[in-house]
Amino acid sequence: MNNLFKKILFTSAILIIFSGFFPGQGDIYFEISKNIDVFGKVYKEISLNYVDEINPEEFMRAGIRGMLNSLDPYTIFIDENKKDEIDLITNGKYGGVGISIGVRGDEVTVVEVLDGYSAQKQGVRIGDVLIEADGQKISSENVDEISTYVKGEPGTQVEIKIIRNESKDTLLFNLIREEVLIKNITYYGFYPPESNNAYIKLSNFSRSAGDEVKKALKDLKSQKDIKSIILDLRGNPGGLLDVAVDICDKFLEKDKLIVSTKGRDLASEKKYFSVQEPMSGDSRIVLLINEGSASASEIVAGAIQDQDRGVILGVKSFGKGLVQTISPLSYNTSLKITTAKYYTPSGRCIQKIDYTQKNKVMAVTDSIDNGTYYTPNKRIVYGGGGITPDSTVEFKIEGDVTKDLLAKGMFFKFANSYYEGNASSKLSEIKNEKLFASFISFLEKQKYLYQSDAEKQIDKLIEDVHKKKMDTSLSDDLKKIRKQFETLDNSEYKIYEDEILREIKIELAARYTGTEGKITASLEGDKQFQAALKIATNEKIYNGILHN
Q: Are strands 157-164 and 129-133 parallel, antiparallel or unpaired?
A: antiparallel
Amino acid letter, 233: L
Alpha-carbon gap, residue 542 to 534, rounded angstroms = 9
Q: Is 273 helix (H, G, I), strand (E, B) or coil?
A: strand
Say whether 295 is catalytic.
yes
Indicate the DSSP class of residue 389. P
Q: Would you tell me the crossing angle of helices 432-445 and 410-421 to the nearest 10 degrees?
A: 110
Amino acid letter, 324: Q
Return all residues near 90 (Cβ < 8 A) that are at least 6 apart.
Answer: 206, 207, 240, 326
Helix boundaries (H) for 224-329 = 241-248, 296-306
Q: Is 151 helix (H, G, I), strand (E, B) or coil?
A: coil
CB atoms within 10 A of CB 524: 11
Amino acid letter, 40: G
Residue 401's H or E segment, with its range, is: helix 400-407
Phi, psi of 204 (to 5 degrees): -145, 170
CB burial readout 19-34, b (16+ within 10 A) else e: eeeeeeeeeeeeeeee
Cβ atoms of 285 and 251 within 8 Å: the answer is yes
Cβ atoms of 240 and 272 within 8 Å: the answer is no
Indicate the DSSP class of residue 182. P
> From the candidates 72, 128, 232, 306, which is the catalytic residue?
306
Phi, psi of 366 (to 5 degrees): -110, 180
Alpha-carbon gap, residue 285 to 252, rounded angstroms = 11
CA 184 to chain centre: 12
Cβ atoms of 200 and 209 within 8 Å: the answer is no
Q: Does residue 260 come out as left (phi exceeding 0), alpha (psi in the -120 to 50 range) or beta?
A: beta
Cβ atoms of 294 and 387 within 8 Å: the answer is no
> From the candidates 295, 346, 417, 522, which is the catalytic residue?
295
For residue 354, how many C-alpha atoms fall within 13 Å in the half-sphere facing its CB? 14
Best CA proximity match to 379, nearest among 368, 393, 390, 391: 390
> From the candidates 201, 250, 320, 341, which is the catalytic residue?
320
Q: Hey, which residues does 337 pair with through a beta bridge?
A: 325
Say whether 320 is catalytic.
yes
Annotated catalytic sites, by residue? 295, 306, 320
